[in-house]
Chains A and B, each alone.
Chain A
């Protein structure tokens, strides 16, 4: 059974169709990339999956269970975790406390049990030496790492990454790709939205292209990127 199954998802904001009959599935252990020009409906799709928005029609199933109308915190407990494109750390909590909330509420752990898991995640994403400083004092790269670490602290089955590499330097981006690959190797299913195509294709096994809320291509990253439709959209954007 697919881990995530999306069928006929549709969402309009007034006359703008942000998601137009989108259907796809994500298999357990897969890493799926989603690209598309600005305004293609990528973040809207994430909001529909994570529960920030509810669709006008269509269904979302997680592991066979219908979560179309579940509230955001219920989806987190069911196993969906996300990072935000613009990081939203809990600024007045420390980095460690950011993860602790996620582990205690997202995974229903006691604080003492959660400490061990949070420590290991901080180690994994390279934030250990910042564990006890306020999250509000982090740099952009650290905030992006915190977004990922906090999502991981909920022990997700499905991790949604929203432009986590955006705004980073080339070497920072490379380090992030390595972290994401390691995560994927450890068995986490990943759906990753990204503008930086080479970072994305280095980590995912399948690519979906969105444009004007519609899915216009899907498949092997190399094949998708060389298809005529996708080249047409990206000419002038990808120099």
Chain B
């Protein structure tokens, strides 16, 4: 049945279009890039793989924090709670329960989501700056609690024995496939797991933003009061996002500490490593966009790779860069580029078009 429009001649229908020519090219480019990255272990050395693992988990953490703060307005400074929780769960599940590490990563995600629910009941009572501080305090409670577990090394932490790290699912297959020794094969598996997690996180964030929930998140980001006035249940949308992000962050934490094979409360619940750097990445890249955290991660990696040996000067430079970006490109570098040139690689915009009936 065709409905009539007053201003447009003929009959037809209004439809929603999302893709653009640029986004189609970007999607093709992404597929090729993922294929190349998947094949990387066949021709790259261990150093590069280890660097890439770092890039992948920082990218995944940045996407998570961006969804939380850039879209749902939940500026958490306590995401290290879930990185540490995931890491400790991996150790507990493998050392105490004897579960395969890769399965333990998935379980760590599910259990982190369960922990997120009571955590949300506490921190969701707070708003704005108080929410930020509240999440940080909760993360400290997590840190102090895990320091009490003797079986997991208490305050000094513990290590994963080679009996566990070398027994990762698929390690023999990788050894024969690439003709490498056990430690190198372990890295390859970590690399693929990290790649899968980064791509999976990216895809998940994209699908959430493309769904009806993404529309609600955009509305909440711009005006919570107006969002509620058009029927959006703000509290519920935020809670769902918080729990999804906690699950993914827990899985990333588990993966990070599978690769490190050594955990301690201070490192696992470090606000600097797992939240401050992540905020830096999102802010300089462009908060509230999917592309921003990708750009931010690359910049952060390059800065760290070339400047970390300068010690304190490196941190001063990071801070200075963050301040400059906030002053001159408040929407981040990607925000600046996309505003100036009108590009959008991942299309989440919905455009209204009029399609005439044939």
Contact = CB atoms under 8 A, between A and B. Distances in A.
Contacts of A107: 231
A81 B218 contact: no
A3 B315 CA distance: 63
Interface in B21-45: none
A214 to B, nearest CB: 26
A154 B231 contact: yes
B269 to A, nearest CB: 34
Contacts of B349: 94, 97
Given A92-B221, A94-B351, A116-B14, A111 B229 contact: no
Interface stretch (B5-13, B57-65, B129-137, B318-326): B5-13
Given A90-B218, A102-B231, A123-B7, A131 B352 contact: yes
Contacts of B15: 112, 115
Contacts of A82: 229
Interface stretch (A29-37, A68-76, A173-181, A197-205): A68-76
A124 B226 CA distance: 22
Given A94-B351, A97-B349, A132-B351, A119 B14 contact: yes
Contacts of B212: 104-105, 111
A192 interface: no
Contacts, number: 124
Interface string A50-88: 111000000000000000000111001100011010001
Interface SS, A side? helix
Contacts of B352: 96, 115, 118-119, 122, 131-132
A90 B226 contact: yes
Contacts of A89: 222-223, 226
Interface in A93-132: 93-94, 96-98, 100-102, 104-108, 111-112, 115-116, 118-120, 122-124, 128, 131-132
A191 interface: no
B232 interface: yes
B218 A153 contact: no
A10 interface: no
B177 interface: no
A91 to B, nearest CB: 5
A105 B231 contact: yes
Nearest to A132: B351
Nearest to A119: B14
Interface residues of B, number: 33
A100 B222 CA distance: 15
Nearest to A50: B229
Contact of B14 (A50, A118, A150): A118
B223 to A, nearest CB: 5
Nearest to B234: A73
Contacts of B127: none
A73 B219 CA distance: 13
B303 to A, nearest CB: 28
B115 to A, nearest CB: 27
Interface string B194-219: 00000000000000000010011011
B151 interface: no
Contacts of B16: 100, 111-112, 115
B149 interface: no
B7 A52 contact: no
Interface of A: 50-52, 71-73, 76-77, 81-82, 84, 88-94, 96-98, 100-102, 104-108, 111-112, 115-116, 118-120, 122-124, 128, 131-132, 150-151, 153-154
